[in-house]
Amino acid sequence: MLIQVVRTGGFAGIERRAEIDTSGRPDAHEWHALAGEAAAAGRGLRMPGAAIPDGFSYEITVDGQTFHCAEPQLSDAQRELISRVLKEGA
C-alpha cells in the first residue's frame, strides 16, 4: 500500500510532501487500518471549500485514491496518519 500526504497552506505557506510504501513492513497491517479509518472520515467530504486562515490543508492518497481534509476538521485517525507519514515517510 502506498500512502502519500501533501500538506499545503499554513502560516508559512510552504508545501510538504511525504510517502510511505507499506509493502514488506512488519507494521503494514497497522498502517492499513489507520489509512482505512482516515479515508473513511474523509469520504463524502469534497475538497475543503473555504480553508481557515493559515490552517493546513491536506491531500492524502492511498493506493491512488485521493481524499482531502483540513485543519481544524481532522479526525484523530487523519491527524495520526498525517503526522506519521510526514515524520517517517520519505
- The DSSP bridge pattern shows strands 2-9 and 16-21 to be antiparallel
CA separation for the pair 78, 58 (Å, rounded)? 10
Instruction: Return the closest-CA partner of residue 60 out of 9, 12, 8.
Output: 8
If binding is defined by CB under 8 A, does position 64 make contact with other proteins? no
Q: Judged by CB, which is closer to other proteins: 26, or 72?
A: 72
Per-residue x/- track, 4-23, other proteins (CB under 8 A) = ----xxxxxxxx--------
* Residue of 62, 69, 74, 85 interacting with other proteins (CB under 8 A): 74
56 and 10 in contact (C-beta within 8 Å)? yes
Binding site for other proteins (CB under 8 A): 8-15, 37, 40-41, 49-57, 71-77, 79
